[in-house]
């Protein structure tokens, strides 16, 4: 039996003033390093430990604590939590939507078995747990414009199925064992200095690299495919804010968050305001197109705004200017 009958079995009394000791799994993906930077500013460099099964680049290794952590190895996960006195865990290891379809059994292991390990360790050691969910947790029978927090969720990707499982298991552990589980459904996240790995919304990151480099981009989604998107700094701030929110402010444990929604054509038009010669062409990937068409066009995040004061900073014009500036294109 890995789960204690009493949820607080191993809990230590941590004084309110003490900063959390944080572990980030899957830390070398699109979001981990940015999250570590944000959390280190807030809680101190040594209180935030990045982990992954990959070897970190030198600048990441030298920027703060890093450990090897394989989330499929339950015993070593426990060791890390105990040895580093972890009190908050951000579980970012996952295969994304398109790459998951290309490797269903690995996606099942990482996204579902890995989650089970993380849930058990968090419940056993009284760790506050954040796991991201996604617009991919909705499916073709969900309302798409907008998708509310609570509605039919019948996704048809292994990624989506694993994320619905994440939402339900986390909430179950909350009600059953008192696990402090918190979850946000992320839109497609757009970042300048890190790459997504195998998602359906990746085009919205790649387009900026291509625009700055060649002035042209071949898009793998159709021109009119509308999806919810968010700039990375909004996403990471939302994540910290929901983790810091007093428990009594949370009427739910899984919230939609949203910032903007656009189509590839609208994004190309916004880019042309700064780079008038920019050209977009289309070579549609049927797998990604089918996935995108099963996802919401717009997320309804009114509960996050009402309960814990969520507010995005970046709309499409600010996003485009910030991304182009990062890639060396002047937008003045
Ligand atoms: C993907 O496209 O798979 C991810 C996501 C929206 O969850 N970026």
227 CA: nearest ligand 1 atom: 6
Compute the distance between CA of residue 179 and CA of residue 126 in angstroms, rounded to an integer.
7
Q: Which helix (H) or strand (E) holds 290?
A: helix 286-293
Compute the distance between CA of residue 328 and CA of residue 17 in angstroms, rounded to an integer.
42
* Distance from the alpha carbon of residue 148 to the mean position of ligand 1, in angstroms: 18
Compute the distance between CA of residue 316 and CA of residue 261 in angstroms, rounded to an integer.
8
159 CA: nearest ligand 1 atom: 3
Q: What is residue 332's predicted lDDT score, i.e. its pLDDT?
A: 77
Q: What is residue 314's predicted lDDT score, i.e. its pLDDT?
A: 98
- The pick from 139, 199, 206 for probing ligand 1's pocket by mutation, whose C-beta has the most ligand atoms within 8 angstroms, reads 199
Q: What is residue 16's predicted lDDT score, i.e. its pLDDT?
A: 57
- The pick from 93, 131, 189, 197 for probing ligand 1's pocket by mutation, whose C-beta has the most ligand atoms within 8 angstroms, reads 189
Q: Which residues contact 263 (CB under 8 A, 6 or more apart)?
A: 223, 224, 225, 226, 227
Compute the distance between CA of residue 52 and CA of residue 70 in angstroms, rounded to an integer.
7
Q: What is residue 2's predicted lDDT score, i.e. its pLDDT?
A: 65
* Distance from the alpha carbon of residue 46 to the mean position of ligand 1, in angstroms: 30
Residue of 92, 125, 159, 186 with catalytic role: 159
Q: Which residues contact 181 (CB under 8 A, 6 or more apart)?
A: 119, 122, 129, 131, 170, 171, 173, 174, 253
Q: What is residue 197's predicted lDDT score, i.e. its pLDDT?
A: 85
Mean pLDDT by 10 residues, the chain (332 residues): 52 66 98 98 98 98 98 97 98 98 98 98 98 98 98 98 98 98 98 93 97 94 98 98 98 98 98 96 98 98 98 98 93 81
- The pick from 147, 164, 188 for probing ligand 1's pocket by mutation, whose C-beta has the most ligand atoms within 8 angstroms, reads 188
Q: Is the pTM of this model over 0.90?
A: yes
Residues within a 6 A CB radius of ligand 1: 96-97, 134-136, 159, 188, 196, 199-201
Give me 298's structure tokens. Answer: 């717009």
198 CA: nearest ligand 1 atom: 3
Nearest residue to 21 via CA among 82, 83, 87: 87
* Distance from the alpha carbon of residue 202 to the mean position of ligand 1, in angstroms: 7
Give me 220's structure tokens. Answer: 């793998």
- Catalytic residue list contains 174: no
Q: Is the ipTM of this complex over 0.95?
A: yes
* Distance from the alpha carbon of residue 103 to the mean position of ligand 1, in angstroms: 16
Ligand 1 atom 4, closest CA = 199
196 CA: nearest ligand 1 atom: 8
Q: What is residue 11's predicted lDDT score, i.e. its pLDDT?
A: 47
- Sign of the torsion formed by the C-alpha atoms of 160, 292, 195 and 54: positive
Q: What is residue 3's predicted lDDT score, i.e. its pLDDT?
A: 62
* Distance from the alpha carbon of residue 165 to the mean position of ligand 1, in angstroms: 16
- Residue given tokens 């717009």 in the structure block: 298
* Distance from the alpha carbon of residue 206 to the mean position of ligand 1, in angstroms: 14
Ligand 1 atom 1, closest CA = 199
């Amino acid at each position: 039996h890995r789960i204690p009958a009493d949820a607080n079995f191993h809990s230590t009394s941590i004084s309110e003033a003490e900063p959390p000791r944080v572990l980030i799994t899957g830390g070398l993906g699109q979001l981990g390093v940015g999250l570590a930077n944000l959390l280190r500013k807030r809680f101190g460099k040594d209180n935030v430990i990045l982990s992954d099964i990959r070897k970190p680049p030198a600048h990441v290794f030298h920027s703060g604590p890093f450990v090897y952590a394989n989330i499929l190895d339950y015993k070593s996960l426990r060791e890390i939590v105990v040895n580093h006195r972890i009190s908050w865990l951000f579980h970012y290891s996952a295969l994304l939507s398109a790459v998951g379809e290309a490797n269903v059994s690995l996606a099942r292991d990482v996204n579902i078995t890995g989650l089970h390990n993380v849930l058990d360790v968090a419940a056993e050691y009284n760790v506050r747990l954040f796991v991201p969910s996604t617009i991919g947790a909705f499916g073709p029978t969900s309302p798409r414009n907008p998708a509310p927090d609570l509605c039919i969720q019948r996704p048809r990707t292994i990624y989506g199925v694993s994320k619905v499982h994440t939402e339900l298991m986390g909430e179950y552990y909350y009600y059953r064992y008192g696990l402090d589980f918190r979850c946000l459904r992320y839109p497609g996240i757009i970042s300048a200095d890190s790459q997504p790995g195998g998602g359906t919304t990746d085009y919205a990151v790649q387009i900026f690299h291509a625009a700055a480099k060649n002035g042209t981009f071949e898009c793998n989604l159709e021109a009119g495919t509308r999806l919810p998107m968010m700039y990375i700094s909004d996403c990471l701030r939302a994540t910290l804010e929901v983790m810091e929110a007093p428990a009594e402010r949370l009427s739910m444990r899984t919230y939609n968050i949203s910032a903007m929604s656009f189509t590839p054509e609208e994004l190309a038009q916004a880019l042309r305001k700064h780079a008038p010669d920019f050209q977009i062409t289309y070579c549609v990937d049927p797998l990604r197109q089918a996935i995108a068409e099963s996802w919401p066009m717009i997320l309804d995040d009114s509960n996050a705004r009402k309960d814990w004061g969520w507010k995005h900073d970046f709309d499409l014009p600010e996003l485009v200017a910030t991304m182009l500036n990062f890639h060396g294109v002047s937008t003045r």
